[in-house]
Amino acid sequence: MPSYLADILAAHRARAAADDRPVEGLFERAAATAAPRDFAGALRGTGLGCIAEIKRRSPSKGDLDPSLQPDVVAKEYAEGGASCLSVLTDEDFFGGSPDDLAGARRACGLPVLRKDFTVQEADVADARLMGADAVLLIAAALRDDELRRFATRAGELGLAALMEVHDDEELRRALAAGARVVGVNQRDLRTFAVDHDRARLMAARIPTDVVAVAESGIRSAADARSLADAGYDAILVGETLVRAADRSAAVRELAGHPVAPR
């Protein structure tokens, strides 16, 4: 069984090891940019929020829509009632780029998550410099000290940190690192297999003052309703929306379901 996460992380850490840019200079430049949009606040609404994802391909599914136009897709998602965007910026494995994120953000008023593999402090600064309002921190990919340090650095720039977890131990680590937004990924990043019960089982363990997001494998209104019933504030959906014939309608079908208390 392939280990996608290991291969992706090895590539990103090798790139980080060769990155000799002065980190503090990057943070000074990032801090001078306009204030980010409120990513976490956008997910606290009267119904289930939807983080709608823009990606061209994935390691497990191959090409989804290699020719998509990020600005057009962003407008379609916004028209459908998406709360936020998630944009893949990894080029080698997902076909994304910083330009995709910048273009999507310019096209609408939604906060944007940089969906990538953060492995160094410079990645946090780069996220803000390309226009992101939130950064992804994957617990399975980071040590405890990295989770804390990267989250702190994100906070210094006004960025939200979506800490992604897959099990109880990773959730414990994320909360210990100060997580305010937690994403429970139903996809195993080592094999990319989806466990549809994972998020529902973990929902009650997420504190009520933490924004809870369910990720991956969400294909229908029934899936979305089940997660809202479990107490999730939002869902993050990629493949289903990218492949939809009518992306605005697909977002409307998934978003807005009443959220049960956790």
Residues known to be catalytic = 53, 55, 115, 164, 185, 215-216
* Phi and psi torsions of 143, nearest 5°: -75, 165
* Phi and psi torsions of 230, nearest 5°: -80, -10
Parallel/antiparallel/unpaired status of strands 57-58 and 62-63:
antiparallel
CB atoms near residue 109 (< 10 Å):
9
- Contact indicator for 109, 78 with CB cutoff of 8 Å: yes
Q: How far apart are CA 42 and CA 186, in angstroms?
A: 22
